[in-house]
């Protein structure tokens, strides 16, 4: 490619970009008055994860490490163990379960690969997007926190600062 062609292409790309920018200047501005007015999220929005339970209240995670292996950001830390008690007595659907299951939201890019990799539908995205904390350590969410998220995955959080859109 000659230098003249490169210059022409660059100028054209700049002009196209500026045209988009300038077209927005006269338009009416929208201010989202969050958190006074709830944010509208699509059902497919990938927010903070939750660890799911089955219909008996048992943890679905069997500590297979597939989510951790699929994670491109190395954000999931798991320690597996076994509970050889009967189904009624143990916490999980199988003897093997995650004794430790942490997600580091300082690393997570909410790509969803872990959700796709899970063979037990144990890890899913919820809708919470409020991750702001005052120190890095608080960005690491442990198993109990992620299990607690299970209760609020389908709709608005108790504080009601977001709603799920009906269109997809």
Give residues in contact with ligand SF4 (CB under 6 A): 61-67, 70-71, 73, 75-76, 78, 98, 103, 108-114, 117-118, 120, 122-123
- Report, in Å, the least distance between residue 140 CB and ligand SF4: 12
Torsion of CA 145, 149, 150, 154, to 10 degrees: -170
- Report, in Å, the least distance between residue 69 CB and ligand SF4: 8
- Report, in Å, the least distance between residue 135 CB and ligand SF4: 20
Cβ-based nearer residue to ligand SF4, 48 or 162: 48
Cβ-based nearer residue to ligand SF4, 53 or 118: 118
Cβ-based nearer residue to ligand SF4, 9 or 82: 82
Cβ-based nearer residue to ligand SF4, 75 or 162: 75
CB contact set of 142 (below 8 Å; sequence gap of 6+): 100, 101, 102
Cβ-based nearer residue to ligand SF4, 120 or 157: 120
- Report, in Å, the least distance between residue 115 CB and ligand SF4: 7
* Start-to-end C-alpha separation, the chain: 44
Cis (ω within 30 of 0) for the bond into 12? no
HEC string of 23-88? HHCCCCCCCCCCCCCCEEECCCCCCCEEECECCCCCECCCCCCHHHHHCCCCCEEEEEEECCCCCC
- Report, in Å, the least distance between residue 167 CB and ligand SF4: 24
Q: Could you give the CA distance from residue 62 to residue 95 in angstroms, rounded to a whole number?
A: 8
């Amino acid at each position: 490619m000659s230098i003249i062609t490169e210059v022409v292409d660059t100028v054209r790309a700049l002009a196209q970009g500026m045209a988009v920018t300038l077209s927005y200047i006269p338009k009416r501005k929208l201010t989202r008055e969050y958190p006074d007015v709830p944010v509208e999220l699509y059902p497919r929005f990938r927010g903070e994860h939750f660890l799911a339970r089955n219909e008996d209240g048992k943890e679905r995670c069997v500590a297979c490490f597939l989510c951790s292996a699929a994670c491109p950001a190395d954000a999931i830390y798991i320690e597996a163990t076994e509970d050889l008690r009967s189904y009624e007595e143990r916490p999980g659907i199988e003897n093997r379960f995650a004794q430790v299951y942490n997600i580091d939201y300082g690393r997570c890019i909410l790509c969803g690969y872990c959700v796709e990799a899970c063979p037990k539908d144990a890890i899913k995205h919820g809708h919470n997007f409020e991750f702001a904390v005052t120190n890095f350590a608080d960005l690491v969410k442990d198993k109990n926190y992620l299990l607690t998220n299970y209760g609020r995955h389908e709709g608005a959080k108790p504080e009601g600062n977001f709603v799920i859109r009906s269109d997809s």
